[in-house]
Amino acid sequence: MLDKNDQVVARLTKLDKFHEMGIEPYPHHFKRTHHSDSLKENKEALLKSEEKVTFAGRVVRFNRKGKMCFMHLKDRFGRLQVVCAANLLEDNYEVVKLIDLGDFIGVEGTMMETQSGEYSVKAAHVTMLSKAVRPLPVPKEVIDENGNKTVFHEFKDVDTRYRQRYTDMALNDDVRDVFIKRSKIMQSIREYLIEKGFIEVETPTLQPIYGGANARPFTTHHNAADMTLYLRVAPELYLKRCIVGGMEKVFEFSKNFRNEGMDRTHSPEFTGLEFYEAYADYNDMMVHFENIYERACIAANGTTKVEYQGKEIDFKAPWPRLTMAEAIEKYSGLKIASLSDDDMKNELSKRGVKLDGIWSRGRAILELFECTVEEHLIQPTIIKDMPKESTPLCKTHRSEAGLIEQFEPYANGWELGNAYTELNDPLRQRELLEEQVARGRGGEDETHPMDENFLHAIESGLPPTGGVGFGIDRMIMLLTNQQTIRDVQLFPLMKPE
RNA sequence: GGGCUAAUAGCUCAGCUGGUAGAGCAACGCCCUUUUAAGGCGUGGGUCGAAGGUUCGAAUCCUUCUUAGCUCACCA
């Protein structure tokens, strides 16, 4: 071991004692008849019947009192006290003396109540299941009559918590709960899409050409093929190929990678969900989107409402829809239609925004939206009908010139996703992608390289299609009231110490 | 990338304007058969994030670096 302190040495000494006694401190298996919750649920019956139970978990409290010992074992459902009295253990109180906080042990016994009334396992036999040789910094806690928990010496150093997430999860129940909710949310989304007839697919993470989002990629190299590969920034272009192939309704949970800054809402690797439906348009996608959110919120919290950092947000569908122009007018009083380009420049510079690259009215509108509207969209709202400059992958608006059929749902001032009536006109698609490549040379930062195979697919015939992409991590943050993306990712990226 | 802040025992933290490091929990030893942050007596444990500098003397002051947090910028 790299670092041995007195506590590690003490535990290693205990480990030797197990070996001397001929006891395996790391057995292969332990048969549990009950978890902590099933023991609690069947309290009356178990107390009465005194039937034999077995129960296992991690030692999180340990009081030795002479030849008697009280401890709490924690499994994934909670914690429960175990009472070990030397005269009641068949033969192995010696084992109890070698137990430390953090060890995994199993007990066999019957249920009882202590003199102070705490429901406990009365152990007849104790089995060491895994001796921990490093100390687990278990905090002490008190739960008062009202059920409020006070924790003393809580393990809370943020740096250590992320680097040792196993310790964090083992000690901090609320951390583990976030990831349990995350699993429930993912499952509810999957169930919804499968109910609606979507097929789950997996598309390449390693891509020879990246695309589908404006973002800088991570680059890697394939040795045998001697080729440069990119980690995907989005699965979009492959999923559309699936629609071309006739799958009609597909979805993918996709780990995406973007080589950009990290902050409270951005991580270099994050989970996206995208789904595409043939013969549907963006109006149909809005309904899926709000349904998924509503259902996920119920899956996580049992209701459509969530308290996020002091604000109550209600995800109940349907959500109000505003066009981008309506939203700008509502929150800034500016009527886009009656503003000249010069007025627009003035309004932007008044707000401290400058546009680089070539002037375009559409990009100015997008900027104006960002600085006047976004922060006000606390309750779920769907913003639709963006200027055509927003993206090259979306279809022109059926009735409004200069706009496209794109929508972005917002809540808590955050963009939750991005969706279109997908562009399926191959000539128009080529034109727009070429324009974007050309603009890239002109100096705009982030653009896609040309993906000829994708164009080939669209040229082969993409049916009318609606598509949605959305950020799972932000969704988990909102639905579990977490302030940073790192608190909803199990093992966030950390620089080496 | 810029600004601000932090890093001291396994954990949580004190340590003021410089004088060779301290508490609680945890650990170790002894006592204790109904504890609830159990208790009593005793013991050990530190390259004070790293490297330089100032000084007779640095955890403390200065510089640089590392890591993290907040924040701004960038970014869906």
Relative to beta strand A403-411, strand A417-421 is antiparallel
Please tell me whether any atom of strand B lies within 7 Å of the Cβ of A266. yes
DSSP state of A139: P
CA distance linking residue A177 with residue A169, whole number of Å: 9
Mean pLDDT of A480-494: 93
Strands (E), A102-218: 104-113, 119-130, 140-143, 149-152, 199-200, 206-207
Q: Distance (Å) from CA A427 to C1' B55?
A: 77
The whole-number pLDDT of residue A383 equals: 96
Q: Please name the nucleotide lying closest to A118, CA to C1'.
A: B36
Give me the CATH code for the A175-320+379-487 domain, please: 3.30.930.10
Q: Distance (Å) from CA A181 to C1' B48?
A: 41
The whole-number pLDDT of residue A204 equals: 95
Q: How confident is the model at residue A433 (pLDDT cuts 50, 70, 90)?
A: confident
CA distance linking residue A87 with residue A65, whole number of Å: 13
Q: Distance (Å) from CA A482 to C1' B7?
A: 25
Please tell me whether any atom of strand B lies within 7 Å of the Cβ of A110. no
Tell me: domain A6-138, CATH 2.40.50.140, correct? yes
The total number of residues written for chain A in this structure: 497
Name the residue with the least CA to C1' distance from nucleotide B38: A63
Residue-wise DSSP of A412-472: TTEE-EEEEEB---HHHHHHHHHHHHHHHHHT-S--PPP-HHHHHHHHTT--SEEEEEEEH
Mean pLDDT of A56-65: 94
Digit-coded pLDDT (tens) for A190-223: 999 999 999 999 999 999 988 888 788 888 999 9
Residue-wise DSSP of A9-25: HHHHHHHHHHHHTT--S
Q: Which of residues 399-418 of A touch strand B (CB under 7 A)?
A: 408, 415, 418
Residue A242, classed as helix, strand or coil, is helix
Please tell me whether any atom of strand B lies within 7 Å of the Cβ of A173. no
Q: For residue A158, give every residue at least 6 positions away whose Cβ sits within 8 Å of its Cβ, in sequence order, or none.
A: none
Q: Distance (Å) from CA A152 to C1' B47?
A: 30
Of A419, A470, A464, A387, whose CA–CA distance to A282 is shortest? A419
- Percentage of residues in chain A with pLDDT exceeding 90? 72
Q: Distance (Å) from CA A23 to C1' B19?
A: 54
Mean pLDDT of A14-39: 95
Q: How confident is the model at residue A445 (pLDDT cuts 50, 70, 90)?
A: very low
Worst-scoring range by mean pLDDT, A32-46, A141-155, A161-175?
A141-155
Q: Please name the nucleotide lying closest to A99, CA to C1'.
A: B27
Residue A205, classed as helix, strand or coil, is coil
Q: Distance (Å) from CA A72 to C1' B55?
A: 54
Q: Please name the nucleotide lying closest to A256, CA to C1'.
A: B76
Residue A47 reports pLDDT greater than 90: yes
* Phi, psi (rounded to 5 degrees) for A83: -110, 125
Q: How confident is the model at residue A91 (pLDDT cuts 50, 70, 90)?
A: low
Q: Which of residues 314-353 of A touch strand B (CB under 7 A)?
A: none
Q: What's the complex ipTM?
A: 0.90
Residue A69 reports pLDDT greater than 60: yes
Helix (H), strand (E) counts: chain A? 15, 21
The whole-number pLDDT of residue A1 equals: 60
Residue A485 reports pLDDT greater than 60: yes
The dihedral of CA A360, A361, A362, A365: what is its sign? positive
Domain with CATH 2.40.50.140 in chain A: 6-138
Q: How confident is the model at residue A347 (pLDDT cuts 50, 70, 90)?
A: confident
Q: How confident is the model at residue A441 (pLDDT cuts 50, 70, 90)?
A: very low
DSSP β-bridge partners for residue A469: A274, A418
Q: How confident is the model at residue A107 (pLDDT cuts 50, 70, 90)?
A: very high
Please tell me whether any atom of strand B lies within 7 Å of the Cβ of A261. yes
Please tell me whether any atom of strand B lies within 7 Å of the Cβ of A170. no
Average pLDDT, chain A: 91
Domain with CATH 3.30.930.10 in chain A: 175-320+379-487
- Percentage of residues in chain A with pLDDT exceeding 70? 97
Query: Quick check: bond before A320 cis, omega within 30?
Result: no
The label of the residue with tokens 């459509």 reads A304
CB A376 within 8 A of CB A436: no
The whole-number pLDDT of residue A446 equals: 45
Digit-coded pLDDT (tens) for A451-477: 899 999 999 999 999 999 989 999 999
* Phi, psi (rounded to 5 degrees) for A457: -65, -50
CA distance linking residue A493 with residue A156, whole number of Å: 18
Q: Please name the nucleotide lying closest to A216, CA to C1'.
A: B75
Q: Distance (Å) from CA A66 to C1' B31?
A: 8
* Phi, psi (rounded to 5 degrees) for A268: -65, -25
Q: Distance (Å) from CA A395 to C1' B2?
A: 40
Please tell me whether any atom of strand B lies within 7 Å of the Cβ of A137. yes
Please tell me whether any atom of strand B lies within 7 Å of the Cβ of A14. yes
Vertex A300: Cα angle to A299 and A303 (nearest 5): 75
* Helix/strand/coil percent split, chain A, to 5: 35, 30, 35
Please tell me whether any atom of strand B lies within 7 Å of the Cβ of A22. no
Q: Which of residues 422-481 of A touch strand B (CB under 7 A)?
A: 445-446, 471
Q: Which nucleotides of B are covered by protein (CB under 7 A)?
A: 1, 9-13, 24-28, 31-39, 44-45, 66-76
Please tell me whether any atom of strand B lies within 7 Å of the Cβ of A121. no
The whole-number pLDDT of residue A359 equals: 81
Residue A83 reports pLDDT greater than 50: yes
Q: Please name the nucleotide lying closest to A366, CA to C1'.
A: B76
